[in-house]
Amino acid sequence: MTSRIIQIRREPNLLRMMLRWLGFAALGVAGAAALVYVGDWAVFYARGKPQDQIQVTRYMATPLKGHKTEYFYEGTQMTPCAQALFPQDGMDACWYRKRHPLYSENL
């Protein structure tokens, strides 16, 4: 008599399948974001690092007792920004700096 090995096929677990697809989706989103950033970097350097200057209002923030903060107005000044989608070369993107013209530093 010959013995046969019977393979039992397990039904795929629905939660396991969903987690696998979520992992693939997260990996795809991260890969797409990395490609967009690298593309933005390449275009930024190919264009010769284009910059602009935006006028920002500066404040100095000093922590006080009782979890309070005091702000000191330092005036306005021109700040360089990168004409790109993401911050490049140590500068904020111009579109972001135009939407957020207040700049504060903490002591």
| Mean pLDDT score, 62-91 | 92
pLDDT of 11 > 90? The answer is: no
DSSP string, 63-97: EEGGGEEEEEEEEEEEEEEESSSS-BTTB-BHHHH
* pLDDT of the residue at 102: 87
Q: Which helix (H) or strand (E) holds 38?
A: helix 14-46
* pLDDT of the residue at 49: 93
Rounded-to-integer distance, Cα 55 and Cα 97, Å: 9
pLDDT of 80 > 70? The answer is: yes
